[in-house]
Amino acid sequence: MRTPTSDDVSGRLDPLNGEHSGVFAPELGEFENAEQRAQQMGDKETKTGTTTVGLKTEDGVVLATDMRASLGRMVSSKNVQKVEEIHPTGALTIAGSVSAAQSLISSIRAEVRLYEARRGEDMSMQALSTLLGNFLRSGAFFIVQPILGGVDEEGPHIYSIDPAGSILEEEYTVTGSGSQYALGVLEQEYSDDLSIEEAKSVAARSIKSAVERDLASGNGINVCVVTEDGVDITQHKDFDDVL
């Protein structure tokens, strides 16, 4: 690759935005105005507010979320499924912009199917988490903060992925506006020897704690159990069904 000089076009003012572009920018998938566009939407955009949690057990992972979506200060939906299957043994929770999350899920599902068709095998959770981080790092999905839970040949995995694309593998994690309330419950009740059923109860208690105090969370609970056998998602309006 040649060394840039002062005559390079890449160093001149971009006629479209009036700014100096970097020598090697824009990169593929980069959207420089994504943050400004997200701010301009403000209260006009449907958001999930949200409390989502993910826990790892020896036999699989448990993901749980509330079911409320907001539009500014209004509850726009009381029946939102905030966890979706994106892989034969993997699922994703969503927190943030609903439209961006829906687009992200569609894109990830397509990439997973393409990977499987080309290679004849399922994508590993590490590869899937890297793909998710790359999508979010591009800036094309406004503000979305998912939790990825899945099972592969190496066992169960829980990944916390922030809106900028950083990836952290955890034993348990939380996202959304009710995070602090849910995390307090998880800190007290999580242990690495929980069964699937025990993890479901702990997850439900953490979501219920957030619903009691966070105005953007409520209206029931989505529970997702992922094992080597697949993904099972259920919705419950009454927390007692899970506790």
- Find the helix or strand (DSSP H, E) in which 141 lies: none
Q: How far is CA 42 from CA 28, 49, 67, 88, 104, in A?
A: 27, 13, 21, 35, 20
Bond into 26 cis (ω within 30): yes
Using N-to-C axis directions, what is the helix angle for 125-137 and 98-119, rounded to 10°? 140
Alpha helices in 120-144 (DSSP H): 125-137
Confirm whether 5 is a catalytic residue: no
Quick count: other Cβ atoms within 10 Å of Cβ 48? 30
Q: Across-strand partners of 71?
A: 74
CA distance 172 to 57: 9
CA 153 to chain centre: 22
Site of tokens 């069904």: 241
Residue 232: which residues within 8 A CB-CB, separation 6 or more?
224, 225, 226
CA distance 89 to 91: 7
Q: Which of 3, 46, 48, 50 is catalytic?
A: 50
Using N-to-C axis directions, what is the helix angle for 196-213 and 179-189, rounded to 10°? 140
Residues carrying an active site annotation? 50
